[in-house]
Amino acid sequence: APSAASPLLAHLNDEQLAAVTLPAGHALILAGAGSGKTRVLTTRIAWLLQNGYATPGGILAVTFTNKAAKEMVARLSAMLPVNVRGMWIGTFHGLCNRLLRAHHKAAGLPQSFQILDTQDQLSAIKRLCKQHNVDEERFPPKQLSYFIASCKEEGMRPGDVPTHDSDSRKKVEIYQLYEEQCQREGVVDFGELMLRSYELLRDNDPIREHYQRRFQHILVDEFQDTNKLQYAWLKQLAGNDVGGRYEARGSVIAVGDDDQSIYAFRGARVGNMTDFVREFDVQRQIKLEQNYRSYSNILDSANHLISHNSRRLGKNLRTTQGAGEPVRVYEASSDLAEAQWMVDEIKQLVRNDGFERKEIAVLYRSNAQSRVIESALFNASVPYRVYGGLRFFERAEIKHALAYLRLLENPHDDTSFTRVVNFPPRGIGARSIEVLQDAARAAGCSLHDAVSAVPGKAGANLGAFVAMVDVLREQTQGLNLRGIIEQMLESTGLVEHFRTEKEGADRIENLQELVNAAESFVTQEGFGRDAVALPLDEHGTPLIQSVQSPVSQGLDPNAPVLDEPLKPAVPGIVDADTGETLSPLAAFLTHAALEAGDNQAQAGQDAVQLMTVHASKGLEFDCVFIGGMEEGLFPHENSASDRDGLEEERRLMYVAITRARKRLYLSHSQTRMLHGQTRYNIKSRFFDELPEAALKWITPKQQGFGSYAPSFATHSGAGSAYGSSARGQFGFKSETFASPPVPAQKAAPSHGLRAGIAVFHTKFGEGKVLAIEGTGDDARAQVNFPRHGTKWLALSVAKLTVVE
């Protein structure tokens, strides 16, 4: 009989102990967040091994993410000396891959088959459509790829798909052709990994029986989010359906929480839990009711919230930890103010309360929200990492958009040219591009200039592309940054292109977010007074002629000139780093490149974690921020209208809250730039579903509306008394604008710099201050950077932090 004397079991509570030491047989562990489900799974594996009930080879454990799998393996090897390589622990895709590699012949694949990611899959489909003259208007490749993925998720090959008209027959025909193409090229997409390995087990008795005998213990975490095919796959491994009766060999332990089912939109079926109990004739169900993760203010909030859902399997959660800090709720005037508040809090958590940055997570409902937060962290030089998703400026659609913008600035940027010459698709194939590249190489010119050297249809298509960009360049002359980007999104067909894609809505949101990014770049960066704010006369000539530095520009014609004298009367801005006069567009592009490349936290560096709520499942952090708690955003407007949608949103919120161990912060904002426009938001209904006693409402001491965009008019009388912090990062910080656009009176800023001090610059790295000049807005520092030489930096623009 198991005993708690074993150190492995020492800290488990009674229900956990029972779950870890279950005798052979199937079981369902249904329990709320933070109750130790994942820990129980891991400990059970260790316990089985330690007591000789299983060998490493006899265990198969499915986790939800690669990260979870790695963590499980790490914990196991810490608990006992095992051959972790012998164990099958991984995600569904990871395990399928392993199975198919091992049995590639039986599966009909070359051993070295390649895996197509979603992007590759799409290009493969496009190529195929072209070869077979498929009308892409009628059958957009993106829809085809979605169609194929859904068929595979349902376990259907082309022959199994019901057809009712010529369109559906055509789609099935393309599915068939796509399969043949993949087979010929030896590639599999994600859906294929799953389906192919399911079929391998189903159709090969010896192989199936081998694994059924082998895997005596199958353990599945996050079972509530498995889909139909995954469940079918598990059943193949577990046993045989013999004339309606299910004969399982090993033991299957499924662990889940119906309240955390958040992938219905991808085919996840909570119903798998009840099916499992029925089909496997599960005799043992264990509930874990003690939460070990969170203080009770946090847990009460989660429990209270989820109690508003109607269809639940029913669980309780309690904690013996104290109440802890109240859940702090913050109301911001704008999304920028919200982000700035987060950054200020994060700095305090690190500096005053001793939290590690990696123990702080910022969660958001929608990917597009990350950009403002990233920007605030970036400006404050706080290392961060975007987890389970790309950082804003690294996302494919953003890179495409930036590539177009780069071409507007520089038609000879061959990298950008190559990136978008056929995106959105315009019938320019890889071969045409090769011809073009050869021509350019021979003539020693850019791709842009070599276009006329390419003959035939390809040449014509290339010519049309170049002409489109050239026209766009002319059209956007004199437009402000926002106008340029909007025009670009429109003329290039980027937005239109993503309209037809399955996950296109997200990408369009991101593209619109780029407009916001540009907008706030203009108003925040101290580059501020560009074509947007700079008053122009009717000919587009700037009324102020002495545009010389970001500091003096548009402010005071007599302000001292930075660095070298710059080209006057340019309605542009100055790169404070290089002293170059840049167009707003070029400056923005520089900023984008910097932000994409430089501040990415190094591997292993202590960094704040940014992720969507979806990506946070199963993880835990000391401190959690949940931003954008507004109607339409969280709950999301797409889901709030029907009950199922709203309940799924509530489960998402439940997941988000229960990630926090010690501190939880919720925030909402009165205004938000989203989807390309300012929205006035009311706070999320979820606030009404939280227990008032657990919350503490903190409101900013002073709030200013519209304060993040001090317009040109505000500067007229303010002169240099206009403090630098009022327009430092966001321009709203602690200053109050009685009514815009009158700026606050502010004393000279204390930048805390003096000669001899060591500073850090986000681009140039560490350096030493040699001299300081000027005050207020005009303050500048001469800094020597070991790798970049000596530079004069405008303190209201350059982000210098003192190195302690």
Binding residues for ATP: 31-38
213 binds ligand ATP (CB under 6 A): no
The nearer residue to ligand ATP, 256 or 731, going by C-beta atoms, is 256
Distance CA(211)–CA(199), nearest Å, equals 14
Contacts of 50 by beta carbon, 8 Å cutoff, 6+ apart: 6, 8, 80
CB 374 within 8 A of CB 607: no
The nearer residue to Mg ion, 39 or 419, going by C-beta atoms, is 39
* Interaction partner, residue 663 (ligand ATP, Mg ion, none; CB < 5-8 Å by kind): none
The nearer residue to ligand ATP, 286 or 401, going by C-beta atoms, is 286
Nearest Cα to 20, choosing from 618, 33, 4? 4
DSSP per-residue string spanning 674-742: ETTEEEE-PBPGGGGGS-GGGEEEE--SS--TTTT---GGGGTTTGGGS-GGGGSSSS-SS---SSTTP
13 binds ligand ATP (CB under 6 A): yes
CB 650 within 8 A of CB 306: yes
Number of other residues whose CB lies within 10 A of the CB of residue 327: 24
293 binds ligand ATP (CB under 6 A): yes
The nearer residue to ligand ATP, 192 or 222, going by C-beta atoms, is 222
Single out the residue of 618, 628, 635, 776 in contact with ligand ATP (rule: CB under 6 A).
Answer: 618
CB of 225 to Mg ion, least distance (A): 11
Single out the residue of 16, 480, 492, 552 in contact with ligand ATP (rule: CB under 6 A).
Answer: 16
The nearer residue to ligand ATP, 11 or 312, going by C-beta atoms, is 11
In the region spanning residues 631 to 690, those forming contacts with ligand ATP, defined by CB under 6 A, are 658
Angular region, 213: left φ>0, alpha ψ -120 to 50, beta rest:
alpha
196 binds ligand ATP (CB under 6 A): no
35 binds ligand ATP (CB under 6 A): yes
* Torsion, CA 173, CA 177, CA 182, CA 188, rounded to 10: 0
Q: Where are the beta strands (DSSP E) in 185-313?
A: 187-189, 217-220, 239-242, 245-248, 251-256, 284-288
32 binds Mg ion (CB under 5 A): no
Interface segment toward ligand ATP; rule CB under 6 A; list 28-36, 334-342, 562-570, 731-739? 28-36
Interface segment toward Mg ion; rule CB under 5 A; list 31-39, 168-176, 232-240, 479-487? 31-39
CB of 684 to ligand ATP, least distance (A): 22
361 binds ligand ATP (CB under 6 A): no
Residue ranges of the annotated binding site are: 31-38
Count, residues near Mg ion per rule CB under 5 A: 3
Q: CA Rg, the chain, in Å? A: 30
CB of 594 to Mg ion, least distance (A): 37
Single out the residue of 39, 103, 663, 780 in contact with ligand ATP (rule: CB under 6 A).
Answer: 39
CB 202 within 8 A of CB 236: yes
Interface segment toward ligand ATP; rule CB under 6 A; list 11-19, 265-273, 552-560, 709-717? 11-19
CB of 60 to ligand ATP, least distance (A): 19
Single out the residue of 38, 227, 720, 762 in contact with Mg ion (rule: CB under 5 A).
Answer: 38
Distance CA(528)–CA(724), nearest Å, equals 12
Single out the residue of 11, 132, 278, 412 in contact with ligand ATP (rule: CB under 6 A).
Answer: 11
* Interaction partner, residue 34 (ligand ATP, Mg ion, none; CB < 5-8 Å by kind): ligand ATP
Distance CA(214)–CA(220), nearest Å, equals 16
Number of other residues whose CB lies within 10 A of the CB of residue 593: 13
**What is the set of active-site residues?**
37-38, 221-222, 260, 659
34 binds ligand ATP (CB under 6 A): yes
Strand 789-794 to 695-698 pairing: unpaired
Q: Is 2 helix (H, G, I), strand (E, B) or coil?
A: coil
Count, residues near ligand ATP per rule CB under 6 A: 19
CB of 38 to Mg ion, least distance (A): 3
Distance CA(108)–CA(381), nearest Å, equals 52
CB 726 within 8 A of CB 702: no
In the region spanning residues 734 to 773, those forming contacts with ligand ATP, defined by CB under 6 A, are none
The nearer residue to Mg ion, 35 or 724, going by C-beta atoms, is 35
Interface segment toward ligand ATP; rule CB under 6 A; list 29-37, 392-400, 536-544, 694-702? 29-37
Amino acid, single-letter form, for residue 65: T
CB of 359 to ligand ATP, least distance (A): 12
CB 462 within 8 A of CB 454: yes
Q: 444: which 2 tokens?
A: 């020693």
Contacts of 540 by beta carbon, 8 Å cutoff, 6+ apart: 478, 571
In the region spanning residues 244 to 273, those forming contacts with ligand ATP, defined by CB under 6 A, are 257, 260
Amino acid, single-letter form, for residue 152: K
Site string for Mg ion, 591-630 (x = CB under 5 A): ---------------------------x------------
For 245-281, letters b (16+ CB in 10 Å) and e give eeebbbbbbbbbbbbbbbbbeebbbbebbeebbebbe
- Cis check for the bond before 23: say yes or no (omega within 30 of 0): no
The nearer residue to ligand ATP, 595 or 647, going by C-beta atoms, is 647
Nearest Cα to 710, choosing from 675, 746, 752? 746
* Interaction partner, residue 13 (ligand ATP, Mg ion, none; CB < 5-8 Å by kind): ligand ATP
Interface segment toward ligand ATP; rule CB under 6 A; list 30-38, 117-125, 143-151, 699-707? 30-38
CB of 256 to ligand ATP, least distance (A): 9
12 binds ligand ATP (CB under 6 A): yes
Nearest Cα to 524, choosing from 375, 644, 663, 705? 375
292 binds ligand ATP (CB under 6 A): yes
How far is residue 555 from each of residues 57, 536, 718, 780, measured CA to CA in Å?
72, 14, 9, 16
CB of 660 to ligand ATP, least distance (A): 11
Single out the residue of 19, 33, 317, 744 in contact with ligand ATP (rule: CB under 6 A).
Answer: 33
The nearer residue to Mg ion, 36 or 554, going by C-beta atoms, is 36
H or E element that contains 374: helix 370-379
226 binds ligand ATP (CB under 6 A): no
Single out the residue of 36, 140, 250, 700 in contact with ligand ATP (rule: CB under 6 A).
Answer: 36
Distance CA(223)–CA(655), nearest Å, equals 15
CB of 658 to ligand ATP, least distance (A): 6
Q: Any idea which residue has 């068939």 for tokens? A: 176
38 binds ligand ATP (CB under 6 A): yes
CB of 465 to ligand ATP, least distance (A): 49
CB of 68 to ligand ATP, least distance (A): 9
Q: 217: which 2 tokens?
A: 């213990």
* Interaction partner, residue 735 (ligand ATP, Mg ion, none; CB < 5-8 Å by kind): none
Interface segment toward Mg ion; rule CB under 5 A; list 33-41, 366-374, 521-529, 713-721? 33-41
397 binds ligand ATP (CB under 6 A): no
37 binds ligand ATP (CB under 6 A): yes
Sheet holding 284-288, edge to edge: 88-90, 59-62, 217-220, 251-256, 27-31, 284-288
191 binds Mg ion (CB under 5 A): no
The nearer residue to ligand ATP, 296 or 782, going by C-beta atoms, is 296
* Residues that bind Mg ion in the complex, under the rule CB under 5 A: 37-38, 618
Q: Which residues bind ligand ATP (CB under 6 A)?
A: 11-13, 16, 31, 33-39, 257, 260, 292-293, 618, 620, 658
